A and B are shown apart, each in its own frame.
Chain A
Amino acid sequence: MISRFLFTGADRKVFWTIIVLLAVAVLVPALNLLLPTDHPFHVPNQIVSLVGKYLTYAMLALALDLVWGYCGILSLGHGAFFALGGYAMGMYLMRQIGTRGVYGNPVLPDFMVFLDWDRLPWFWYGFDQFWFASLMAIAVPGLLAFAFGWLAFRSRVTGVYLSIITQALTYALLLAFFRNEMGFGGNNGLTDFKDILGFSVQADGTRAALFAASAIALALFLALCLFITDSKLGKVMVAVRDAESRLRFVGYRVEHVKLFAFVVSAMMAGVAGALYVPQVGIINPGEFAPANSIEVVIWAAVGGRGTLVGPILGAIAVNGGKSYFTAAFPEFWLFALGGLFVAVTLFLPKGIVGSISSFRGRMNTQSALRSQKIADMEAAE
């Protein structure tokens, strides 16, 4: 297994990315916390929280790659799983506020007091426990993906039709979470968090820890995705992408393969959302916006789908660009994003990482051919 890791080029990229992520998980918090602010190697607080946020986006892009890049399922609703994971964590953070809220109610979050509710709705039970909220951040997206995928894949909904119903899914959730009666804070969402596991969410140490947790979680998910895509199941997934109806005649249950990938991917997106919310300090229904899910597709396409590492780089690069543009030329960002997507589709259909690999592959074949020719000539002499 280990020796196979180091032999194929794609696996080697993933392997080194995991190493880099683990190093970043240690180094960035250390350079942030241990060095004085005027030291040239000090990492400023804003960078820690900004990059920490990018890492959760990268996790979401990686999750999408598993279904889109490998199984060929273009989900335009992955933002919904991310947001659900975020809400689960947000509910835990709300319940940690306790009497420090504006209304000082020990159990009810402020928005419930404001709505004149006298008791906690049943689905808020258990969210005062971190372990329960964490479990729900994985289980709720997983169950939704299972129910949705079971129906869609069994009815053999594919291609554009599937993409459209995933958009409908996230849009329906957007509308639902906007409603005050749903009990998730309506259009304000959940915010004003105080602490997580007893530590203040604002504290430098907490931010650094959340950063490290995000980098480590991303590294673990990358290893998990490598394990899946390197297995025989990974080959079956690619066969689903290439010619799913043919695969049925070989005796594989295509819908089970898709369901597995979709559920695993949704759970990863849920974890990403759960790590995102404490770092940005808010979750509101806007996270369900259909446009958000489409942006994830752009990250993955720019980085290179079906490469695992590509979507991670794509998410970080595009969001880095977004942070820069929205500060420097706010009115141009959407044009830049649209232009980038068109450019990648036209000129780099395999994305950045995919194009580099095939360029290297061509060079290798050429040099192999050259050395073959030289060998032939020498043999002829």
Chain B
Amino acid sequence: MTSEMTHSLLYLDAVNVAFDGFRAINNLSLTIERGEMRAIIGPNGAGKTTMMDIITGKTRPDSGQVYFEGAIDLSRQDEVEIARLGIGRKFQKPTVFESHTVNDNLELALTGTRGVFATLFHRPGAGSDTRINDILDTIRLTARRDELAADLSHGQKQWLEIGMLLAQDPKLLLVDEPVAGMTDAETRETARLLREIASERSVIVVEHDMGFVRELDVKVTVLAEGSVLAEGSLDHVSADENVIESYLGR
């Protein structure tokens, strides 16, 4: 075991995934430190979403290592086990539970009871109410607490989903294209939200919007054709010839 592996929060080494012979992830290696926020950029089809699928157990790697907190082999766990380990995920297309209220969406995500009989006899305590209030405050949805999630705007659904991740209180948060389809004001608000979240936990953000990535002001990894093309500050990777070529050659 390398020291990089044991000290990091997330460690991917030489990961490969092919779909019907097409190599979506190609010898991918990536390390995320505890408390780090990382932005991942790359052209469409670069494998960004597939990488998240691997980390969260939706897709199994054909080969390579995926370790969480140094010792936990994620490639052997399913989605539910990985979620319970403390890895949360926001999908590219916002998915909330539409026929539940904003409050109930957060209550379901809140850490705690998950089993069938435990939830059947569960009575929400006062503590959960304060936590929900705090989260509603953070995601600016206090006024819409009792409305159905289906009635929220696109941007608000994105924030609700981020709020649900906060309620899950994960150690690592994966966020897939959070500002797609948002107005400029919503985008700035989301950047603020993510920075606030990152002060307490590790976050990986996938995003196309360069202005947004600049606003986050964190280390950037460029993905292309399933592997890492460049890594460093945004200015550093923007100057990289390979990166310019892969974006222009798109």
A 246-265 binary contact with B (CB < 8 Å = 1; else 0)? 11111111101100100000
Q: How many A-B residue pairs have CB under 8 A?
A: 74
Residue ID in chain A nearest B84 by CB atoms = A251
Q: Are B100 and A242 within 8 A (Cβ)?
A: yes
Q: Are A249 and B79 within 8 A (Cβ)?
A: yes
B 76-116 binary contact with A (CB < 8 Å = 1; else 0)? 00111001100011010001111110001001110001111
Interface residues of B in 100-136 (CB under 8 A from A): 100, 104, 107-109, 113-116, 119-122, 124
Q: Are A239 and B79 within 8 A (Cβ)?
A: no
Residue ID in chain B nearest A239 by CB atoms = B97
Stretch of A96-104, A131-139, A225-233 lying at the B interface: A225-233
Q: Are A243 and B114 within 8 A (Cβ)?
A: no
Q: Which residues of B contact A176 (CB under 8 A)?
A: none
Number of contact residues on B: which range applies?
Answer: 20 to 34
19 A-B residue contacts at CB 8 Å? A231-B120, A231-B121, A232-B113, A232-B120, A232-B122, A232-B124, A235-B100, A235-B104, A236-B119, A239-B97, A241-B99, A246-B95, A249-B79, A249-B89, A250-B108, A250-B164, A252-B80, A253-B80, A260-B116
Closest beta carbon of chain A to B166's beta carbon, Å: 12
Whether B56 is near chain A, meaning CB under 8 Å from some CB there, is yes
Closest beta carbon of chain B to A124's beta carbon, Å: 35
Closest beta carbon of chain B to A177's beta carbon, Å: 32
Q: Assuming A235-B108, A238-B100, what are 5 further A-B pairs, CB within 8 angstroms? A: A232-B119, A232-B124, A243-B96, A249-B89, A254-B80
Closest beta carbon of chain B to A312's beta carbon, Å: 21
Q: Are A248 and B83 within 8 A (Cβ)?
A: yes
Q: Are B114 and A239 within 8 A (Cβ)?
A: no
Identify which of B91, B113, B116 contacts A256 (C-beta below 8 A).
B116
Q: Which residues of B contact A254 (CB under 8 A)?
A: 80
A202 to B78, CA, bound (A): 57
Q: Are B122 and A248 within 8 A (Cβ)?
A: no
A236 to B115, CA, bound (A): 10
Whether B168 is near chain A, meaning CB under 8 Å from some CB there, is yes
Interface residues in A, total, Cβ within 8 A: 23
Q: Are A251 and B122 within 8 A (Cβ)?
A: no
Q: Are B120 and A233 within 8 A (Cβ)?
A: yes
Q: Which residues of A contact B95 (CB under 8 A)?
A: 243, 246
Q: Which residues of A contact B78 (CB under 8 A)?
A: 248
Residue ID in chain A nearest B150 by CB atoms = A242
A231 to B119, CA, bound (A): 7
Q: Are A250 and B122 within 8 A (Cβ)?
A: no
Residue ID in chain B nearest A253 by CB atoms = B80
Residue ID in chain B nearest A1 by CB atoms = B123
Identify which of A235, A239, A249 contacts B88 (C-beta below 8 A).
A249
A249 to B79, CA, bound (A): 6
Q: If A250-B109, A251-B84 touch, does A238 touch B99 (CB 8 Å cutoff)? A: yes
Q: Which residues of A contact B56 (CB under 8 A)?
A: 249
A351 to B105, CA, bound (A): 25
Closest beta carbon of chain B to A33's beta carbon, Å: 40
Q: Are B79 and A248 within 8 A (Cβ)?
A: yes
Q: Are B108 and A236 within 8 A (Cβ)?
A: yes
Q: If A249-B56, A249-B83, A249-B89 touch, does A233 touch B114 (CB 8 Å cutoff)? A: no
A254 to B84, CA, bound (A): 14
A222 to B89, CA, bound (A): 37
Interface residues of B in 43-83 (CB under 8 A from A): 56, 78-80, 83
Closest beta carbon of chain A to B123's beta carbon, Å: 8
A236 to B116, CA, bound (A): 9
A253 to B115, CA, bound (A): 7
Q: Which residues of A contact B79 (CB under 8 A)?
A: 248-249
Residue ID in chain A nearest B149 by CB atoms = A242
A254 to B98, CA, bound (A): 17
